[in-house]
Structure 1
């Protein structure tokens, strides 16, 4: 995966600052978070569940161990989190939050990193998503520390939440997920094919979007190197008031509630695009045919993850302004939460309880971006906001 450290180029910093200073309109407020818990070797977490009015966020969990990235909530209220192996001590890369603690899921053995058995263990899970059939899907990058992957490492794994057993494992051929890829996030349309399709963004390598037939395991890549999936040239984030050049491609991903469009965005950009799901779902469609269905939806804040709800609204984090935004159906944006503790909103997930869940993990403050100095300040947070809508479930 390509990445650049801070360059401090004056021209780039000025150009980026001119874009980064504009914040979205709208109200935002936050509930008091209380004190953090003590650090632990495992990904420690404390939880609270208190309903909050719309427009406020509630801290659901605090993490004092490894840095989380992904979050998802089942229809029965079970919460799952992923901890990719990016430099922290990560005893397990997929966890369920039980009684205020992060517990390896589905068990400790499958979470044990094992370079000798890449396919049999989770190497570095970036995302976890519960689908419309209440199966937990784990997206394993197979690339700890962004160091590259080998066949068997990158995979999509389904766990039956009734039995807590792995029921499906799809390995990606290197022709679809080469060693420099970094598969990032996934969404599902279970109406298509015998058991549905998955759509995955690739933030590394040649970028693009990967489609997976869940029944056969067949996968194919489209939009590789397309202008809509690659980082903006000379992109510079303004984070903590300083320029941070970086090169991450297609990252955030979300579905329209009618199942016609897939929204996505490169992380190293301030733009949004969508593409036809019919085109992506057709394994015989050429790159040019898929690219012809791409729509440029204009500018948005720099965001990591994306999410959508049943009302057709999109959500994302504004990494440069420590906030969460909503894009309405008419294309207007509104800030729905803002607080310094919302530093680098990573994954977002709409749950059936009518809340938007989000991880704030200070991703940009990792040592790999600051010449080996870790600037993160624990705890990392899992928050939720009431949004009066449910998740998009295409079934």
Structure 2
């Protein structure tokens, strides 16, 4: 059965508008608007080594016209074509069903992380996958379908990082940000497609107990129309990789902590979860965030969705590097070759599910950036 679509246009206007003066001292560098995004709400963004910018739109109820798009000539257009972007569950491995993340690697490929779970439903068999698109030819060159050994009925794939130096063709590290079951990390061998599920349900991949964020002075909770409020519990979400590829950083969205674990253990098929858990380091506390990013100097970046800020982690300490009233839920972060940190601000917390059925989002959404004078981690 085909998942119905409404044709919504994602018009984009390009601008470089410096932010107004930050309301508190020390809130620099200046925030610049890259694009105003109308239509469906975006989540992911990636800036390729050649500067091309890609965004994605999950099936969360806005019925986006396409799942993956490229920012091109003032508009976001379907990428790599319209056919692949039609979510057809009859051929789930050949179409995007609900894309949560896009990441460009150092081999001129755009990787698309498809949750296979429109509307946070149970994943469609054969639809949970990694898809590689050659950015030179704009053609799909590899599709890795993730099986039930790593994809649970409650799994919701969120973000991904790559190290192309490992094994024959590299490995991918993926977060499972389940809202109904255990969080976890998934390690994928890109040559064979063989996958391992790691730290499933471990405290580091699960939401903090009793966690309730506050935005604009109000607690953020699930508030469906006509029902009592409930906790919003989202598991492992943000992910980042150290410049040498030896350490993976990750955090649950519903948490004030983030963690580090050796990647060698994650990849080792003989390592048990108990062995891996013994090497997990709690690097918290931190402000709750959605996405993470890493630069080639070893710094980690995170959004602070409670306070509309971007924060930087160096030498065990978080500092706020940008604060702006336009940073309305910083979602995915990506560092470009131009020394800027790019991120989507998509007003996620204004969705109807948090406001008794009222949609408080105000378009356009925005793609923003700040100058960090560092480059991305590209392991190839």
Same fold judged by TM-score > 0.5?
Answer: yes
Partner residue of 2:277? 291
Correspondences of 1:347-362 after superposition (within 5 Å): 347-362=332-347
The yes-or-no answer on 1:209 pairing with 2:216 is: no
Distance 1:298 1:81 in 2: 30
What's the RMSD between the two structures over aligned residues?
Answer: 1.4
Partner residue of 2:357? 372
Deviation for aligned residue 1:377:
1.1
Deviation for aligned residue 1:149:
1.1
Spell out, residue by residue over 1:147-174, the C-alpha distance to the aligned partner (whole angstroms, 9 max, x if none): 2212111110000000000000000111
Deviation for aligned residue 1:358:
0.5
Distance 1:296 1:41 in 2: 43
Spell out, residue by residue over 1:285-323, the C-alpha distance to the aligned partner (whole angstroms, 9 max, x if none): 111111111001120000000001011111011010011
Structure 2 counterpart SS, 1:48:
strand
Partner residue of 2:330? 345
Q: Of residues 144, 149, 153 in structure 2, which corresponds to 1:175? A: 149
User: Does the CA-based 8 Å contact 2:115-2:129 persist in structure 1?
Assistant: yes
Distance 2:83 2:62 in 1: 19
Partner residue of 2:202? 226
Correspondences of 1:1-395 after superposition (within 5 Å): 41-48=8-15, 55-204=29-178, 205-244=181-220, 245-328=231-314, 330-395=315-380
Partner residue of 2:224? none
Gaps of 5+ in 1: 1-39
Distance 2:334 2:43 in 1: 12
User: Does the CA-based 8 Å contact 1:151-1:171 persist in structure 2?
Assistant: no
Deviation for aligned residue 1:55:
0.6
Distance 2:115 2:82 in 1: 18
User: Does the CA-based 8 Å contact 2:334-2:343 persist in structure 1?
Assistant: yes
Structure 2 counterpart SS, 1:69:
coil
Partner residue of 1:8? none
User: Does the CA-based 8 Å contact 1:350-1:357 persist in structure 2?
Assistant: yes
TM-score, normalised to structure 1, is 0.87
Partner residue of 2:24? none
Residues 197 and 51 (structure 1), Cα distance of their counterparts in 2 relative to 1, 3 Å cut? farther
Structure 2 counterpart SS, 1:217:
coil
Deviation for aligned residue 1:49:
5.3
User: Does the CA-based 8 Å contact 2:42-2:58 persist in structure 1?
Assistant: yes
Distance 1:220 1:78 in 2: 32
